[in-house]
Amino acid sequence: MGQDAVAANGTAGGGRRRARPHAVVMPYPLQGHVIPAVHLALRLAERGFAVTFVNTESVHHQIGAGGDIFAAVRAGGGGATTTTTELDVRYELVSDGFPLGFDRSLNHDQFMEGILHVLPAHVEELLRRVVVDPPTTCLVIDTFFVWPATLARKLGVPYVSFWTEPALIFNLYYHMDLLTKHGHFKCKEPRKDTITYIPGVASIEPSELMSYLQETDTTSVVHRIIFKAFDEARDADYVLCNTVEELEPSTIAALRADRPFYAVGPIFPAGFARSAVATSMWAESDCSRWLDAQPPGSVLYISFGSYAHVTKQELHEIAGGVLASGARFLWVMRPDIVSSDDPDPLPEGFADAAAGRGLVVQWCCQVEVLSHAAVGGFLTHCGWNSILESVWAGVPMLCFPLLTDQITNRRLVAREWRAGVSIGDRGAVRADEVRARIEGLMGGEDGVMLREQVKKLRGTLEAAVAPGGSSRRSFDEFVDELKRRCGGSH
């Protein structure tokens, strides 16, 4: 595939055509990062960039799409865009240092050590091959990597830090030094008082911080990745964020005071439909026939995302609440949700008790499910993609965050936007509370109010991406700036 990447830059054909600006896009190798990166890559290609998209071999293997995931959209847009121009997207693979059969879910810390210490050398080797004309090239790289600014400097190209979570999360990580100075982080016994000193954040409780900022042991591999990644982010030329200015105005204003920060979300597949590019790392079940047979607004959709795990105890409490509520439900149960060693973690007899009103699948096309008229609520782990998709589909949320940004995302959903309610915390979720919350959402007054609020938020998102909207303007400014910067030496 290497020669394709050279051709993509338009500089290898003996000056056949003026070089296009060339963006090398690489997502973090987790499902929730791959999806927005793919659709950002398509947007850049629509705007005249030659794009080289880099996946790890492992992610590509899990997607199981055979060869090039962009093949279908390359000629004439293929349904991914509204244009009919040919998209210049090339596809490259890089080893993460582990064999394909290695269980990255079961061996999480070992996998993360590889991302920290092994992957950077493989990426550098790849970039030295695909960055053939530095004056026309930029790196658009997931913020969580530990090497982008360093490699961008070595190669003499700009680094665009692509942040797939809310601006609030970026801002809190960005100010870890302040949290440390005030005793809210990196302390044996962190303070419990309200945090009021983070620029652009009026106040936040220590219990609303990301899980990694609540932990007292900060020597874990994930902490080491976060510290290094945000050292690199401080040297980014631009930050591109999958959020909407109107959802987080003061936080975004504070970040913009520091560096070019562009809020360009929500980044979805065209038409908020099944992606024309294969991005799913699990085989998807088609749930449409089952959903078609359910009354409008009657189904609770349940999914805990692609990455975090729950305990068997938590799963059994939630399952008990779901059964007791009497609600119809569609539950996405990833095979490794508890552990790869425990592929059937639901309580004994659950399937029989739920027969006729519930469907359990391993994975599905979430935007299709949320868009279906039968779906009236979403019990979610509060991953950022899931939140944006739920708001766009007008579906209110029951929030059960598992780790990392999800805890802070819940604060946005439940406290700031009032588009959802909490159903408990890790280790403190009870079947009776789950039942009560489901009943309130699916049939009670709570549900009516939450739906009204979600409808308003959906209007905010739609306005942001419409012509003249904040995200559309922000993306236009970003593209213009990048084209100026990567115009090449003509």
- Pairing between β-strand 299-303 and β-strand 420-422 as defined by DSSP bridges: unpaired
Question: Does 9 score more than 50 pLDDT?
Answer: no
**Token representation of residue 335:** 């095979």
Q: Are residues 156 and 303 in the same domain?
A: no
Q: Are residues 358 and 263 in the same domain?
A: no
Per the model's pLDDT, the better-predicted residue between 17 and 413 turns out to be 413
| pLDDT value for 428 | 86
Question: Does 19 score more than 80 pLDDT?
Answer: no
24 contacts 54 by C-beta, under 8 angstroms: yes
User: To the nearest whole percent, how much of the chain has pLDDT over 90?
Assistant: 78
Number of folded domains that form the chain = 2
Q: Are residues 196 and 294 in the same domain?
A: no
Q: Which residues of 153-175 are buried (b: 16+ CB within 10 A; e: fewer)?
A: eebebbbbbbbbbbbbbbbbbbb
Chain-centroid distance of CA 429 in Å reads: 25
Region 26-35 average pLDDT: 95
pLDDT per position as a tens digit, 75-90: 655 444 444 468 999 9
38 contacts 275 by C-beta, under 8 angstroms: yes
Strand partners, 51: 23, 89
44 contacts 25 by C-beta, under 8 angstroms: yes
Region 343-354 average pLDDT: 84
Domain annotation covers residue 108:
yes
| pLDDT value for 477 | 97
Q: Are residues 265 and 302 in the same domain?
A: no
Q: Are residues 371 and 415 in the same domain?
A: yes
Q: CB-hemisphere CA count at 13 Å for 305?
A: 27
The residues, any chain, with a CB within 8 Å of residue 470's CB and separated by 6 or more, are 244, 245, 246, 263, 463, 464
Domain annotation covers residue 279:
no
pLDDT per position as a tens digit, 206-218: 999 999 999 999 9
Domain annotation covers residue 388:
yes
CB atoms closer than 10 angstroms to residue 482? 22
| pLDDT value for 128 | 97
| pLDDT value for 270 | 83
**Token representation of residue 300:** 């609770």
pLDDT per position as a tens digit, 38-68: 999 999 999 999 999 999 999 999 998 778 9
Q: Are residues 269 and 179 in the same domain?
A: yes
Domain annotation covers residue 156:
yes
| pLDDT value for 82 | 47
Domain annotation covers residue 282:
no
Sheet of 358-361: strands edge to edge?
358-361, 328-332, 299-303, 375-380, 397-399, 420-422
Domain annotation covers residue 116:
yes
| pLDDT value for 85 | 66
Q: CB-hemisphere CA count at 13 Å for 450?
A: 27
Q: Are residues 252 and 296 in the same domain?
A: no
HEC letters along 347-389: CCCHHHHHCCCEEEECCECHHHHHHCCCEEEEEECCCHHHHHH
Region 155-170 average pLDDT: 98
Region 275-303 average pLDDT: 94
Question: Does 173 score more than 60 pLDDT?
Answer: yes
Q: Are residues 438 and 473 in the same domain?
A: no
Question: Does 490 score more than 50 pLDDT?
Answer: no
Per the model's pLDDT, the better-predicted residue between 276 and 398 turns out to be 398
Question: Does 376 score more than 60 pLDDT?
Answer: yes
Domain annotation covers residue 6:
no
Residue 187's region, left for phi above 0, alpha for psi from -120 to 50, else beta, is: beta
Q: Which amino acid is at 320?
A: G
Domain annotation covers residue 162:
yes
Q: Are residues 210 and 325 in the same domain?
A: no
We report the CATH number of the domain holding residue 401 as: 3.40.50.2000
Q: Which residues constitute the domain of residue 355?
A: 287-443
Q: Are residues 254 and 313 in the same domain?
A: no
Question: Does 171 score more than 80 pLDDT?
Answer: yes
Q: Are residues 128 and 262 in the same domain?
A: yes
Q: Which residues of 268-287 are buried (b: 16+ CB within 10 A; e: fewer)?
A: bbbeeeebbbbbbbbebbeb
Determine the Cα–Cα distance for residues 276 and 72; give it in Å rounded to an integer: 7
The closest alpha carbon to 376, from 436, 289, 290, 302, belongs to 302
| pLDDT value for 488 | 53
Q: Are residues 190 and 293 in the same domain?
A: no
| pLDDT value for 76 | 57
Determine the Cα–Cα distance for residues 78 and 271; give it in Å rounded to an integer: 13
